Amino acid sequence: MLRFRVVMTRYSLLIVGLVAGQCAAASPTGAQRSRAHFVPKWNNEALFDSTTTREELLDMGRSAVSFSHFPLAEVYFQEALLRDPDDVDAMCELAHLYKRTGRLEYARGLLTRASTLVPTRLDVVANLRTVERELRGELEREIRALLAAERFDEALPRLAVLLSITPDNVDVLADKARCLARIGQMDAALSTIDLALSKAPREDLYALRAEFSATIEHDRIASMESSARRLIESGNWVRGEASDVLQAILAQDPSNEWAREQFRALSGSSGGVAAPRREGPAWPEQFIGAIRDIAPGVAGFFDRHLTAILALIGIAIVFASPLARAFARRVRPSSLYSGDLGQIVVGDALRLASSSGLSGVMVFHTPEGRAKVYLEDGEPVHCSGFGYTGVEAFAWLVEHIEEGSFALRPLRGSVEHTIDQPLTLLLAGRPTTAADAEAVQRRRKSRMSELLETHVD
C-alpha cells in the first residue's frame, strides 16, 4: 500500500508539471516562460529520490516524451544512466529522444555503445543504421555548404565525423586533404591523400598528391631562399653558411637560376668557368697579415725577424705542430667550392660542380682516407684515392663514402686523363640513351684514331 502511494505521488507530480507547462504555453509569453523558468524547475531532486526505481524513471521519461516535454524526459533518462551506465534500455530511450530533437550525433554515440554492449539486439543495430544514414546525409549537406563558402576550418570536424561513419570513403578523405591544404597543414594533407591512395589508387588522387608535393617543395625552397638572402646580406663572415644553403637549394631544384647565380658569385666563378676571386699576396705576406689581425702590437717584431720565424714555421710543419696547422689554415687559399658530406652526398656535390662548370681538383677528406677528383669545365678527367685510380677510384668514392668533407682547389699544372666518360654516365653506371652511348664512344677514341680516320677520309 505504501509503495502504491509513492508511485502515485511521483505520477501526480509529473501530471501537475505537464499541465502547468501546457497552460504556460497557451499564454502570449508562455514559450519564453516555460523555457526560462519552468524547465529548470524540472531538473531537481523533487522529481525523484533514492527510492525511485529504474522502471519508474523510464516510464516517467516515456510519458514526458508522449507529451513532447523533451527536457523533462531527458532528465529522467539521464538519471537512469547515472545509476547504471550500462543500462541499454535507457540508452535506447535517450537516443530516440536525441534523434527526435535533431541531435543525431548524440543519438549515434548512445546507440553505438548499446550495440557494443548487446550486439544481439537487432532493434539497436537497425536504429543505429537509420541514425547513421540520416546523420550522413545531414553532414554531407553541411560540408558542401561550408566548402562552397571556403570555411575549411569549420568543415574539418564534420568531415571527421563523416569519416567515422564511412572510413573507406576516398572522396571524403580527398575533401579532408583539400581542407587541410587550404589552412596550411600541408604535411597532414599529404598523409591524408596517401591514405586515400592506399584505399583507391585513382588518377585524380595521384594528381592531387603531386599538387600537394609541389606546394610543399615550393614552400621549402622559398624558405631556404629567404635564409640564403639573409645570410648573403649579413656579409662575408657567413659566406660558407650561405654557400651551403645555396647548394641544398640546387640539390633539390637544379633549375633554380637565382641560386645558381648566387652560388657562382660566392664561389668566384664567371661564365660557368671557375676562377679565383682575386689574386692574393704571396703566402709570407698572408702570414704577416694574419699575425697583424691577431696581434697588431707584435707586427713590427715579425717584420724584423721574418727569416727566423719562417725557419721555426718549417720546423713546426715537420713535426706536425697544432700551432702550425692553425697558421696553415689561416694562410691556405680559400676554397672555390666546399661542403660537408653529411649534408650533401658525393654525387650531388659533383653534379653541382659540373652544372656550374667548375675546374680544379676536388679533394675529399673521409674516414676511409683522402680522394681527389680532377675536373675540367665540370667534367671529371682523373680520380685517385683508396688505392685505386681512374674510374675504379671514382666508383668507390661515389658508392662507399657517406661522411667527411670536400673542397675544390685550383688546379696547378696538368694531369693524366684516366676518365673519358661524362659525369652523367659515370653516376648512372651505364649510357641511358643512344646519344649518350655515341658520346662515350667518341670520347673513348684516342687522338691517333681520330687522325687516322681523317687521313682515310
What DSSP string describes 283-313? Answer: HHHHHHHHHHHH-GGGHHHHHHTHHHHHHHH
Whats the size of the chain, residue-wise? 457
Phi, psi of 39 (to 5 degrees): -60, -45
Q: Is residue 43 part of a domain?
A: no
Q: What is residue 237's three-state secondary structure?
A: helix
Which 3-state string (H, E, C) describes 108-134?
HHHHHHHHHHCCCCHHHHHHHHHHHHH
Residue 51 resides in a domain: no
Whether 309 is covered by a domain: the verdict is: yes
C-alpha span between 253 and 260 (Å, rounded): 10
Report the share of the chain in percent with pLDDT over 70: 68
**DSSP assignment letter at 47:** G
> 369-376 and 360-366 as β-strands: parallel, antiparallel, unpaired?
antiparallel
- Establish how many alpha carbons lie within 13 A of residue 151's alpha carbon, considering only the half-sphere containing its beta carbon: 10
Assign 303 a pLDDT band (cuts: 50, 70, 90).
Answer: low
Residue 316 lies in a domain: yes
Judge whether 321 lies within some domain. Answer: yes
Does residue 286 sit within a domain? yes
Domain span holding position 321: 278-333
User: What is the amino acid identity at position 106?
Assistant: Y
**Number of domains forming the structure of the chain:** 2
Pairwise CA distance, residues 315 & 312, whole Å: 5
What band does 266 get if pLDDT is binned at 50, 70 and 90? confident
For the question of whether the overall pTM of this predicted structure is more than 0.95, the answer is: no
The x, y and z cell numbers of residue 319, run together, are 713535426
For residue 48, the one-letter residue type is F
Per the domain annotation, does 21 fall within a domain?
A: no
Q: What residues form DSSP beta bridges with 340?
A: 405
Residue 68, in any domain of the structure: no
Among the candidates 288, 311, 333, a domain finishes at: 333
Last residue of a domain, one of 316, 333, 350: 333
Per DSSP, what are the bridge partners of residue 29?
none
Looking at 311, 333, 355, which one is the last position of a domain?
A: 333
pLDDT tens digit sequence for 418-433: 998 888 888 876 444 4
